[in-house]
Amino acid sequence: MPLSWKRTPSEIRLLQRAISHPDAADLSGLVEALDATVQNRLWAEQRARGKPFETFSEFVLAPSPAGLGVKSLKPMKFLRQLLIDAAYYEEWTELMERTLRLRGRPSKKPANGEGFARYYPYPESRNSRDYMLLQLKRGHPDEFVNLCRTKGSIREAAIKAGVIVSARTKTLRYGVCDIEAAKRLSETAKPKLLKQLFRELGVDAQCTFIKSLEAGLGPDLARRWRAHVLNQTVSH
């Protein structure tokens, strides 16, 4: 065994072995190894050509024994799952940005000035966690920092920041009213809800609605209703 390999911490060696053979990887001990590598910054103690790594992504892409030697999509996806499952969102997003395929550039060719290929596909779905993390970091840095600190839900942070709209909000009429739920109310509850909505939405909305009924119920209903409401307001 080379001397440089012996000097590599056992946690990093475990990650290197798993990432080099992701299909046959033994998951036991990987979470602890990842925690030690990220939380204790073991990656920053590694050296390539005598120099310590400046970023986590640099460590991941560097060849072993100093780095993890991730050079293709399959091991990258394996590492991605480990990082996201452990809520290391900052580390994964940094790594994703560094390897993200540039649009219009062949995936197997290194970008100018870079010694590695950008092979990670750009997320197309707005509901993918990769998309949400990128948009949070680039457009809502405070929310991104808070998410990384609390290790909370990526989706909830994205909804809060307005990056995506929740599925429930999409089903609401005008974003506030669940028509299907209202239709399922009992026959005694429906008129109560209708009455409350009619009152709460104000006289202008009331008159616009009543105006739409005049074709069947007769003219001047909206004007008479407005006069009625105004008289009640004055009397009170």
Q: Is 145 a residue whose pLDDT tops 70?
A: yes
Q: What is the DSSP string of the chain?
A: --HHHHTS-HHHHHHHHHHHSGGG---TTHHHHHHHHHHTTHHHH-EETTEE-SSHHHHHHSPTTTS----SHHHHHHHHHHHHHTT-HHHHHHHHHHHBPPTTS-TTSBPTT-SSB--BPPP--TTSHHHHHHHHHHH-HHHHHHHHHHT--HHHHHHHHTSS--HHHHHSBTTTB-HHHHHTS-TTHHHHHHHHHHHHTHHHHHHHHHHTTHHHH-TTHHHHHHHHHHHHHHH-
pLDDT tens string 23-49: 877 778 899 999 999 999 999 999 988
Confidence of residue 7 (pLDDT cuts 50, 70, 90): confident
Percent of the chain whose pLDDT exceeds 90: 50
Q: Is 2 a residue whose pLDDT tops 50?
A: no
Confidence of residue 3 (pLDDT cuts 50, 70, 90): very low
Side-chain-side CA neighbours of residue 189 (13 Å): 6
Q: Is 12 a residue whose pLDDT tops 50?
A: yes
Q: Rounded to 5 degrees, what are φ and ψ at 120?
A: -80, 125
64: alpha, beta or left, given left = phi > 0 and alpha = psi -120 to 50?
Answer: beta
Confidence of residue 167 (pLDDT cuts 50, 70, 90): low
pLDDT tens string 171-217: 777 767 878 778 878 888 888 888 998 889 888 988 898 889 888 88
Most confident of 101-115, 167-181, 217-231: 217-231
List the structure tokens of 136.
């949070």
Q: Is 109 a residue whose pLDDT tops 80?
A: no
Query: What pLDDT does 103 receive?
Result: 67
Question: pTM here?
Answer: 0.68
pLDDT tens string 116-128: 678 999 998 888 9
Query: What pLDDT does 124 receive?
Result: 85
Each domain of the chain, given as residue ranges in start order, spans 3-122, 201-235
Q: Is 6 a residue whose pLDDT tops 60?
A: no
pLDDT tens string 75-100: 999 999 999 999 999 999 999 999 99
Give the 3-state DSSP-derived string for 123-172, with helices as H, strands as E and coil as C. Answer: CCCCCCHHHHHHHHHHHCHHHHHHHHHHCCCHHHHHHHHCCCCCHHHHHC
How far apart (Å, rounded) are the C-alpha atoms in residues 109 and 111?
Answer: 6
Of residues 232 and 179, more confidence is placed in 179
Confidence of residue 168 (pLDDT cuts 50, 70, 90): low
